[in-house]
Structure 1
Amino acid sequence: MENHRRRTQVTTSDDEDEQEKEEVLKRSRPVEDAKPIGEPLKYSGKGKSKKWHYDSFEFNGIQYTIGDHVLFKPEEKGQKPYAGIIKDITQGNNGNVVVTGQWFYRPEEAEKKGGGNWKSCDSRELFYSFHCDDVHAEAVMHKCVVHFVPQNKQLPKRKDHPGFIVQKVYDNVEKKLWRLGDKDYEDIKQQEIDVLVEKTLQRIGELIDIEPDEALDDGEDQMKNKKKLKEKKCFTS
């Protein structure tokens, strides 16, 4: 899995191939463009690079806000939509609205360091990651529900609580997998995960405790790979 997940991401590269991809994106946009809502929270950059940051935007009559879980249009026909969390919303001098998406990975998308892909324990499963990209707001399809469930808790019933399930964190650089409760991340990242778990429990109620498996799904000895994830900056334009 490459660090940049899709050809439709925003880029400032002068590479001819990247410029061509940007032109393809422009031609494929719908007639209606996304529009920011309210006053900007702040601005960053200068001159042509200046951009304004917003809390929300509207697209196709739907309002999206920072922190929303959403599905994004896939890069190729036949692919499953990308899932992510909206982390930032900006508008540049050209008027285009851009969102920073923090990505979830489907198990079949997440590569192992030694080759192959990870196994899924449930058809609803996604892996959380700290990998971010900037993409045009028009790539957003609709909102979705993602439940963050520690592995010592029973999964919510699909009938009662439809949506995706997250129990593991995927390191897309080291190509390793970690449990939500490993607490081997930088404090700020662990706090981010703890908040998402707490929001899930507030939304669906307390879950039954179970005995977690001793090893990850592929049988790898997790204890031998314990180490802190290195700080990774989001890929932005």
Structure 2
Amino acid sequence: MVNRRRLTRVTVSSDDEDETPRPPCTRKRLRLLEEEEDEYSNNENGEKQLQIKEEVPKSSQRVEDATPIVEDATPVGEPIRFSRKGKGKRSHYESFMFNGIQYTLEDSVLFFPEGGSKKPYAAIIKDITQGSNGHVVVTGQWFYRPEEAKKKGGGNWKLHDTRELFYSFHRDEVPAEAIMHKCVVHFFPTHKQLPKRKDHPGFIVQKVYDNVGKKLWRLGDKVHEDAKQQEIDVLIQKTLQRIGELPHVEFVEIADDVHDQVKGKKA
């Protein structure tokens, strides 16, 4: 799997969350793809017992009469399909609950990244599964921030708007408990005028990033396989249906901003 993103819990500012409300703060156990360190302590009988380290939000520290809430993600409804066999059997669901919030296929969400210096990762939920161990895992289709999308020849692309994300077809499986909260992502062709942030808060996407070839394409470039191109067209239509039609603007090519179209072969 290419470029697996590493996730953990971090503290982020409201700027990183891009005008989307956070769910109520609770004490949660986050299962990572990498196991957390374990520590042992003596119980009242003097016997050693295993304890799992958990991060306690500042808002719940030193509150003696507070009962901490430990919550795992749980599927909602009946499975919509099954995959694999035996011990590896998986049940697939349309939605799940976590921290009192219901998440559904095709929701855009933010994930806690590894390291406090990084901004949250953004993705679209493309699959929701539960294995025999009861853990809920989501498949995220990732967005890239311009500063983290690498160019084929080295370096990164310029940031033209603080709301900007690049769409990609890169997918990874992630523990459901790594989700921060939902977010809003708008998809606009480059010939459309962007709406004001105060009128339509959220991230904006106008380009598609090829994380394997390290190339960048305009959202309207017809260079992708039919299924991928249809996926992009649907996202654009959903945005325009949600916020209405936008004025056209004269397109101005920005040097070294997008990859030149290659005739014939599709990505």
TM-score (norm 1): 0.85
**CA offsets, 1:150-187, max 9 Å, x none?**
00000111110000000000000000000111111000
* Deviation, structure 1 residue 221: 6.2
CA 21–193 in structure 1, closer or farther in 2 if over 3 Å, else same? closer
**CA offsets, 1:94-151, max 9 Å, x none?**
0000000000000000000000001111110000000000000000110000000000
Match of 2:256 among 218, 224, 231: 218
CA 118–39 in structure 1, closer or farther in 2 if over 3 Å, else same? same
* Deviation, structure 1 residue 223: 3.7
Q: Distance in 2 between matches of 1:135 and 1:219?
A: 31
Residue matched to 1:6? 6
Answer yes or no: is 1:77 the counterpart of 2:89.
Answer: no
CA 224–187 in structure 1, closer or farther in 2 if over 3 Å, else same? closer
Match of 2:91 among 10, 33, 52: 52
Residue matched to 2:82? 43
CA 25–165 in structure 1, closer or farther in 2 if over 3 Å, else same? farther
Contact kept in structure 1, 2:210 and 2:216, CA below 8 Å: yes
Equivalent residue runs for 1:1-237 within 5 Å:
3-6=3-6, 22-24=34-36, 27=52, 31-215=70-254, 218=256, 222-223=260-261, 227-229=265-267
Q: Distance in 2 between matches of 1:220 and 1:193?
A: 17
Q: CA RMSD in A?
A: 2.1
Contact kept in structure 2, 1:119 and 1:218, CA below 8 Å: no
Task: Calculate percent identity across the aligned residue pairs.
Answer: 69
* Deviation, structure 1 residue 214: 2.8
CA 21–189 in structure 1, closer or farther in 2 if over 3 Å, else same? closer
Paired residues in the alignment total 216
* Deviation, structure 1 residue 24: 1.7
CA 75–127 in structure 1, closer or farther in 2 if over 3 Å, else same? same
* Deviation, structure 1 residue 210: 0.7
Letter matched to residue 97 of structure 1:
V
Matched residue SS, 1:222 = coil
Structure 1 residue ranges (4+ consecutive) displaced by more than 6 angstroms after TM superposition: none
Contact kept in structure 1, 2:218 and 2:258, CA below 8 Å: no
Q: Distance in 2 between matches of 1:226 and 1:213?
A: 24
TM-score (norm 2): 0.76
Specify every segment of 5 or more residues in structure 2 that has no aligned partner in the other structure, as ranges. 9-31, 39-51, 56-69
Letter matched to residue 218 of structure 1:
D
CA 38–210 in structure 1, closer or farther in 2 if over 3 Å, else same? same
Q: Distance in 1 between matches of 2:263 and 2:148?
A: 21
* Deviation, structure 1 residue 220: 5.9
* Deviation, structure 1 residue 28: 6.0
Contact kept in structure 1, 2:157 and 2:257, CA below 8 Å: no
Matched residue SS, 1:48 = helix
Matched residue SS, 2:220 = helix
CA 45–212 in structure 1, closer or farther in 2 if over 3 Å, else same? same
